[in-house]
């Protein structure tokens, strides 16, 4: 008999996944996700996330961390946020374990059994200090003489900066930790110095320097920050007129007018800086700028086989390579300098060989901006901020567009689709960034557009349509807001459209900013112009 032979399918066949021509793996196999990575897709976010969860359950935290970090190399993905959350949870667990180990060690070294050991260690320290003085005696003559002229110990020369816009100190300084001190040892917190209302700057500097020298004497390797506030009441309080005490709550330093900071990883001197109202705003802007560049880097890598550009300038090219309109300035120092390693000199640190965008790009903040350190860490780590990609969220019910970047939420009014042509729900990615895009009708897309596929977020001169449902499905924003939004939304940004958006996270206008103010503040003076218009004759066909 000729013809094909029919066969009955095996009951387990639906569970099989074909990897290649002759290799199948079963979803019921305990090693299924391991085999997916090995044979099918070594970058699979789901497989890495499941492997990370399994390793975490088994107590293999290094392996779990590896798989979570592999998940975060693919953005966007349904597992990105969960992996990011898991990494932070593992970091907190490690900090807790280290704190427990430290307490156990302190308890052990306090016993009678270890008295001889402690004495021996103290003797070694003294011997090493004597040897160090001998070795540095020749090189140290110039420093000692200079310090003697100022009447200050050579190790604690103060660098006093007068108030200026963008001061690197801030009561709301860049910190990886939440603004609370529950469970944090007092000696690990910033310190507070309360001064009488009439205390002048010279006297305040003297007290700050003396108190810092006292704290440094307790542990020269520990970073320290002392905030100075002028009390308003008449009753004596802890930390008044010459005694620095650990901060109990972040609110205590809100009114600080000066701060002293000692960061031994950066310099061996105490730096005293006057605070001003511009610093908190600069901190917010720096966080926004950090996430703008990182989001653009992630999109670039996704388009170039997972490789980051050799230079940040490659993110700023003519359309369609305009991942950014400009490389934002680091707002704390106002610098656009890019360095291959952390040196505290301002601007950005960019390491193109890094595995992920979060570690590839970090702020190169000066030591003073590390005020608010509550757990010991390297200066470079404390200068960093967690990677949270820029996101745009559209609430159709409220006719609101929210841009979330660096913990700040910036808001604009938006128009949506008509009832007969509604704006679709879902999460989209910004595929195109175009200035003054041409459509079938002249000016239909306004000053600029962010293409999402079939629809776009675009400008409009029809002010009456903003806050209403009049479009054919696109999201409309006033031209002025759209120009600012365009500068703050990198290529690859996720845009979530929903009927309603749950409240939570940062509040709109964080740091007293709006879209236009943020865009203007982050644009560096003399930024090179790029052509972000599409080539002549290009017509876009978004729904409008």
The pLDDT assigned to 504 comes to: 45
pLDDT of residue 260 exceeding 90, the answer is no
Comparing 71 with 147, which gets the higher pLDDT?
A: 71
Alpha carbon distance 55, 70 (integer Å): 14
pLDDT at 135: 46
Q: Does 269 have pLDDT greater than 60? A: yes
**Is the per-residue pLDDT at 433 higher than 80?**
yes
Cα(5)–Cα(13) distance, rounded to whole angstroms? 18
Q: Of 240 and 530, which is predicted with more confidence?
A: 530
Question: Which pLDDT value is given to residue 304?
Answer: 94
Question: Average pLDDT, stretch 514-525?
Answer: 90
pLDDT at 112: 45
pLDDT band at residue 75 using 50, 70 and 90 as cut-offs: low
Question: What is the number of H-type helices and E-type strands within the chain?
Answer: 11, 22
Mean pLDDT of the chain: 75
Least confident stretch, 100-104, 292-296, 327-331, 498-502: 100-104
Question: Comparing 26 with 150, which gets the higher pLDDT?
Answer: 26
Q: Which of 55-59, 100-104, 439-443 has the lowest mean pLDDT?
A: 100-104
Highest mean predicted confidence (pLDDT) among 2-6, 51-55, 70-74: 51-55
Q: Any idea which of 157-161, 215-219, 326-330 has the lowest mean pLDDT?
A: 157-161
Given CA atoms 447, 450, 453, 454 in this order, what sign does their dihedral have? negative
Q: What is the DSSP letter of 415?
A: B
User: What's the confidence (pLDDT) of residue 171?
Assistant: 31
Percent of the chain clearing pLDDT 90 (strictly above): 32
Q: How confident is the model at residue 110 (pLDDT cuts 50, 70, 90)?
A: low
Q: What is the arithmetic mean of pLDDT over 403-429? A: 92
Query: Quick check: pTM over 0.85?
Result: no
Residue in 379, 306, 290, 326 with CA at minimum distance from that of residue 519? 326
Give me the pLDDT at residue 231, please: 74
pLDDT digits (tens, 9 = 90+) for 286-319: 889 999 999 999 999 999 999 999 999 999 999 9
Query: What does the pLDDT read at residue 81?
Result: 72
Report the Cα–Cα distance between both ends of the chain, in Å, rounded. Answer: 62
Helical axes 278-303 vs 515-522, angle rounded to 10°: 80
Q: 174-231, pLDDT tens digit by residue?
A: 232 334 455 556 666 788 888 887 777 778 888 888 898 998 888 888 878 888 888 7
Beta bridge partners of 83: none
Q: Does residue 285 contact residue 331 with C-beta atoms inside 8 Å?
A: yes
The per-residue pLDDT for 538 is: 95
Question: Which range has the worst mean pLDDT, 106-120, 131-145, 298-312?
Answer: 131-145
- Residue closest to 310 by CA, chosen among 353, 364, 347, 341: 353
pLDDT at 411: 92
| From 98-112, 242-256, 401-415, 462-476, the region with the lowest mean pLDDT | 98-112
pLDDT of amino acid 241: 56
458-483: average pLDDT: 93
Q: Cα dist. 400→68, 229, 390, 455, 506 in Å?
A: 33, 40, 17, 17, 15
Q: What is the pLDDT of residues 351-391, one digit of tens each?
A: 999 989 988 998 887 654 444 322 233 344 444 567 889 99
For the CA atoms of the chain, what is the radius of gyration? 28
**Residue 432 in contact with residue 323, Cβ under 8 Å?**
no
Q: How much is the pLDDT for 149?
A: 33
Q: How confident is the model at residue 437 (pLDDT cuts 50, 70, 90)?
A: very high
Percent of the chain with pLDDT over 70: 67
Label residue 499 by pLDDT band (50, 70, 90): confident
């Amino acid at each position: 008999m000729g013809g094909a032979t029919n066969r009955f399918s095996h009951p387990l066949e639906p569970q099989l996944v074909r990897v290649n021509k002759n290799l199948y793996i079963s979803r019921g196999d305990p090693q299924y996700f391991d085999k997916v990575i090995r044979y099918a897709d070594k970058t699979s976010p789901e497989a890495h996330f499941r492997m990370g969860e399994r390793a975490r359950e088994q107590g293999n935290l290094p392996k779990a961390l590896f798989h979570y970090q592999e998940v975060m190399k693919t953005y966007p993905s349904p597992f990105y946020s969960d992996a990011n959350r898991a990494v932070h949870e593992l970091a907190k667990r490690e900090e807790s374990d280290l704190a427990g180990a430290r307490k156990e060690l302190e308890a052990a070294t306090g016993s009678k059994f270890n008295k001889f050991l402690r004495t021996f260690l103290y003797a070694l320290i003294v011997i090493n200090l004597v040897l160090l003085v001998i070795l540095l005696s020749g090189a140290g003559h110039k420093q000692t003489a200079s310090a003697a002229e100022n009447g200050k110990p050579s190790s604690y020369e103060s660098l006093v900066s007068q108030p200026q816009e963008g001061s690197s100190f801030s009561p709301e300084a860049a910190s990886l930790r939440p603004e609370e001190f529950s469970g944090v040892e007092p000696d690990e917190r910033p310190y507070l110095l309360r001064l009488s209302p009439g205390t002048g700057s010279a006297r305040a500097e003297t007290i700050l320097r003396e108190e810092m020298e006292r704290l440094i004497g307790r542990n020269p390797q520990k970073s320290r920050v002392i905030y100075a506030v002028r009390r308003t009441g008449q009753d004596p309080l802890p930390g008044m007129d010459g005694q620095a005490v650990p901060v109990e709550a972040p609110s205590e330093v809100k009114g600080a007018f000066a701060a002293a900071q000692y960061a031994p990883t950066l310099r061996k001197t105490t730096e005293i800086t006057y605070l001003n109202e511009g610093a908190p705003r600069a901190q917010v802007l720096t966080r926004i700028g950090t996430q703008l560049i990182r989001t653009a880097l992630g999109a670039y890598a996704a388009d170039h086989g997972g490789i980051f550009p050799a230079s940040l300038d490659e993110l700023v090219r003519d359309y369609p390579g305009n991942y950014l309109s400009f490389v934002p300035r680091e707002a704390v120092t106002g610098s656009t300098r890019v360095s291959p390693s952390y040196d505290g000199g301002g601007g950005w640190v960019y390491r193109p060989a890094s595995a992920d965008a979060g570690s590839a790009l970090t702020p190169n903040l000066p030591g003073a901006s590390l005020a608010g350190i509550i757990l010991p860490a390297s200066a470079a780590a404390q200068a960093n901020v967690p990677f949270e990609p820029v996101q745009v969220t559209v609430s159709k019910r409220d006719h609101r567009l929210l841009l979330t970047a660096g913990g700040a939420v910036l808001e604009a009014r938006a128009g949506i689709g008509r009832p007969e042509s509604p704006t679709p729900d879902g999460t989209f990615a910004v595929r195109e960034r175009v200035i003054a895009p041409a459509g079938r009708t002249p000016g239909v897309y306004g000053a600029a557009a962010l293409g999402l596929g079939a629809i776009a977020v675009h400008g409009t001169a029809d002010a009456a349509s903003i806050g209403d449902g009049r479009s054919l499905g696109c999201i409309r924003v006033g031209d002025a807001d759209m120009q600012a939004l365009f500068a703050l939304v990198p290529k690859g940004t996720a845009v979530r459209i929903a009927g309603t958006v749950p409240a939570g996270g940062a509040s709109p206008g964080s740091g007293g900013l709006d879209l236009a103010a943020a865009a203007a503040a982050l644009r560096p003076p003399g930024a090179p112009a790029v052509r972000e218009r599409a080539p002549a004759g290009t017509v876009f066909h978004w729904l409008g």
